[in-house]
Amino acid sequence: MAWRLYAEDNRDQLVFASDDGDRNLNSSPWNAYSWTLTHMDNSPGPLQLGSDVDLMVRPLWQYSKSVGIYKCCADTSTVLVNGEQKARVRTMSMNLYVGGFASDHGGTDGNWPWAAPYVIYNKLSDISGGKPSPVPPNSGFSWTNARTSSIGQLYVLHAGLLATQPGRIWF
């Protein structure tokens, strides 16, 4: 719901599903409009334990005011930090095709050839039929809870394939 409220308050623009890889907001100011800048992995780094701070300064915070909505309550995964098991901070990822990679000219597919056949929805009105796509918007999703072993990115890559190959799970 937060991403929708954000779009309604921001001229129909959707929040970016991912940053452009350069998390420096001085050289890439458009990254400030990504839903998070954290890229989670299984290392004991600060991103595993401190993305709640990142989420509090991201664009969706004013609409949700909760870091808990980004983590499945059934997730018991941990990261070993200095010999101590610590809980991971999020399990949610955003559909890459809803918002795209951040750039100075809107959300992109990152120039990845396999992503080219699919539409990047940059505006809320695109989802309601404003852009033609081989995968109908009503076959997609905006957020998903990822397996803890595959949370690596802050976006879901093969989202469009869910509609074209039902029954197959992509991570």
Residue-wise pLDDT tens digits, 117-164: 778 889 988 877 667 665 555 555 566 666 555 554 545 544 444 444
What would the 3-class secondary structure string for 57-83 be? CCCCHHHHCCCHHHCCCCCCCEEEECC
36 lies in a domain? yes
**In this model, does residue 40 exceed pLDDT 90?**
no
3-state DSSP of 112-170: CHHHCCCCCECEHHHHHHHCCCCCCHHHCCCEEECCHHHCCCCEECCCCHHHHCCCCCC
Residue 111 has pLDDT above 50, yes or no: yes
Query: Do the domain assignments include residue 169?
Result: no
Identify whether 6 is part of a domain: yes
Can you give the pLDDT at residue 94?
83
pLDDT beyond 80 at 25 = yes
Residue 29 has pLDDT above 80, yes or no: yes
Residue 74 lies in a domain: yes
The answer, yes or no, to whether residue 47 has pLDDT greater than 70, is no
The two three-digit tokens of residue 30, written as one number: 């458009």
pLDDT (average), residues 59-72? 90
Q: Does 170 reside within a domain?
A: no
Within a domain: 171: no
Q: What is the C-alpha to C-alpha distance for residues 122 and 119, in angstroms, rounded to an integer?
A: 9
Overall domain count for the chain = 1
Residues 3 and 60: their CA atoms lie apart, in Å, by: 6
When the pLDDT of each residue in the chain is averaged and rounded to a whole number, the result is 75
- Whether the CB-CB separation of 61 and 70 falls below 8 Å is answered with no
Q: Is residue 24 part of a domain?
A: yes
Which residue, chain included where needed, has tokens 């929708």? Answer: 4
Its pTM stands at 0.76
Name the residue with higher pLDDT: 146 or 25. Answer: 25
| Structure confidence at residue 13 (pLDDT) | 94
Alpha-carbon gap, residue 17 to 34, rounded angstroms:
6
**Euclidean distance between CA atoms 60 and 65, whole angstroms:** 8
User: Domain range spanning residue 117?
Assistant: 2-164
Q: Is residue 130 part of a domain?
A: yes
For residue 167, the model assigns a pLDDT of 43
